[in-house]
Structure 1
């Protein structure tokens, strides 16, 4: 991306991975909501460069000393791999305190222009370079390419957020947004034993949410006001509100609305709004009176990628993870894929790379 909404193609010789590094041949790369923020020029740090981070690849070559993944599983050329898209240096202030997902060096390479070696910094490309201190895992044999590609970052991030909130059996969660993040969150919440209410404005997404375990769905367009939507949630929760809510819509107004869905003492996980400077009216007095805890989540601790793969393997066939991808595009049609995704004409698009 030379600038927002403008793409060009570059060619570089494949680099030889250094010690502790891995070079992957990209098999497919999804369009995540973060890509759409970048595409529109709304990302706080990435304004140009190679896009793509949610992917699955095949080991092309291994650097010296690389014999296993970060779970100790032996790897070799040809194995299918998924990786965290950021660096975990383990030495900065955030890492020293155990906040690996907030590593100060997370984007040292992702933000580099393609001219900078080793060139392959993003996954909208034929190959992808995994650096030392970048967690990666071998994909279980019973997990498909389509499912594994979504493990990073959608599934890993919502899994991380639900664990941070402490969602457990018999509780209710309202999930705002039924895109990739919302569908993954619905499945994980159901496996935790929660009752799930999904809110979105696109009926096809809500129908898909039911397949991922949603107990109730609310279409924004069926209600003429915020007050009516709040009443609908209260009616589904015996007038008390939900113990949890999760915002994965990426809309500031959704965040302001979410605290109304939650009962006193509840928790609110917010993931979707990642662009600073987009403001909305908010009721801090209500937040205080209800003593709601807000849990913002960016990225995830990298071992959650392993947990996500295990989740996919253990629930194989129970949820239609493969069906979450409803549009496939070639590398030549990446701009079309981004535009259609931004227009919400597709729920989840994937780029199939040349084999």
Structure 2
């Protein structure tokens, strides 16, 4: 008999097909040079997961899920002694990572568009059977590859707050910076889910006046807690024209300087240009499923000379900016309360189903502790 110790194992949740989930068990891999193996502490359900879960993603119809997370260092590969900000790291430190690869060599990366890296999902798209197995964060462990940016979580930032940093907060921060929104301007945030609430907080810190639009009263109450100056329940207005008039009334008849769409609803995108003043800007983040069509008024867009700024992912250093934002604004915004439901690793399907049905705003999967 061998005297070698048994290999430590971990679990991975696998979507076998849309809305069907199973679990696999694998030996924990030893991280290679430049890599890190994390023990997942918490992983949130993001809108992207819901698109995949409902079969709406153009290519991903099965495999691992999960990307918005916080973990702690289980083991470090050769040569890894700091994070991507030069902060020393060791086993047990809390870490968040960008959920995609930044190769720095492809055509997009060579132009500085790291968020558009052609190899972004090389590993996330791999089947769990392929080593190192732990490609997604709906799992007990997660493998960070050498080309993934990762950062140590500041001590004063809670696990619950940090878990949203590597997707929701970083992405809207990136989008708002692209919009150039600044002090004294007004921005409409279409959607008060996870992305919307994070966007409200960042926009407020930039000195903007925020108008939040949603159709769920509970979300609008949360929007107010995150600093929204005005909230509009879209159910109180019967048409785009009525909602546009409500925004005009709140902006002295001018319209918002900017708007951000984080709903994932094509009709919201079509409506957005009606809410913005001539010469304004429109950031769209939520609509990520190709092939979902909507009627659109290109003549109005041209007449108003509105600049549309589509945003997918974020440049990876925005994750560091997001962590600093959370650290610097601790206690000012209720980030810890954003997650309104927690589930165990065995309840991932339930969490996905309840999120898809909008029974919860933001669900978090809290992994088992040893």
Q: How does 1:105-120 map to 2 (within 5 A)?
A: 105-120=119-134
Q: Note the C-alpha offset of 1:267.
A: 0.2
Structure 1 alignment gaps of length 5 or more: none
Q: Note the C-alpha offset of 1:45.
A: 2.8
Structure 2 alignment gaps of length 5 or more: 1-14
Matched, 1:219 2:226: no
Matched, 1:248 2:262: yes
| Equivalent residue in structure 2 for 1:49, among 59, 63, 80 | 63
The match for 1:204 is: 218
The match for 1:129 is: 143
- For residues 65 and 114 of structure 1, the distance between their equivalents in structure 2, rounded to whole angstroms, comes to 26
The match for 2:107 is: 93
Q: Note the C-alpha offset of 1:152.
A: 1.1
Matched, 1:231 2:245: yes
- For residues 248 and 117 of structure 1, the distance between their equivalents in structure 2, rounded to whole angstroms, comes to 35
The match for 2:20 is: 6
| Equivalent residue in structure 2 for 1:172, among 186, 190, 208 | 186
Q: Note the C-alpha offset of 1:137.
A: 0.2
The match for 1:24 is: 38
- For residues 48 and 164 of structure 1, the distance between their equivalents in structure 2, rounded to whole angstroms, comes to 33
TM-score (norm 2): 0.96
Matched, 1:333 2:347: yes
The match for 1:143 is: 157
- For residues 58 and 180 of structure 1, the distance between their equivalents in structure 2, rounded to whole angstroms, comes to 23
Cα contact 2:240–2:274 (8 A) shared by 1: no
Matched, 1:79 2:93: yes
Aligned residue pair count: 355
- For residues 284 and 75 of structure 1, the distance between their equivalents in structure 2, rounded to whole angstroms, comes to 51
Q: Note the C-alpha offset of 1:44.
A: 2.2
The match for 1:36 is: 50
Write the deviation string for residues 193-212 of structure 1: whole angstroms up to 9, x where unpaired: 00000000000000000000
Cα contact 2:282–2:309 (8 A) shared by 1: yes
- For residues 273 and 299 of structure 1, the distance between their equivalents in structure 2, rounded to whole angstroms, comes to 12
The match for 2:278 is: 264
| Equivalent residue in structure 1 for 2:302, among 288, 307, 311 | 288
- For residues 359 and 212 of structure 2, the distance between their equivalents in structure 1, rounded to whole angstroms, comes to 19
The match for 2:5 is: none
- The CA RMSD over aligned residues, in Å, is 0.4
- For residues 224 and 144 of structure 1, the distance between their equivalents in structure 2, rounded to whole angstroms, comes to 41
- For residues 144 and 275 of structure 2, the distance between their equivalents in structure 1, rounded to whole angstroms, comes to 41
- For residues 138 and 254 of structure 2, the distance between their equivalents in structure 1, rounded to whole angstroms, comes to 46
3-state DSSP class of the match of 2:55?
coil
Runs of 4+ with >4 A deviation: none
Q: Note the C-alpha offset of 1:43.
A: 1.3
Q: Note the C-alpha offset of 1:47.
A: 1.5
The match for 2:329 is: 315
3-state DSSP class of the match of 1:72?
coil
3-state DSSP class of the match of 2:16?
coil
3-state DSSP class of the match of 2:325?
helix
- For residues 71 and 58 of structure 2, the distance between their equivalents in structure 1, rounded to whole angstroms, comes to 27
Structure having the larger proportion of residues in strand = 2
Matched, 1:354 2:368: yes
3-state DSSP class of the match of 1:167?
coil
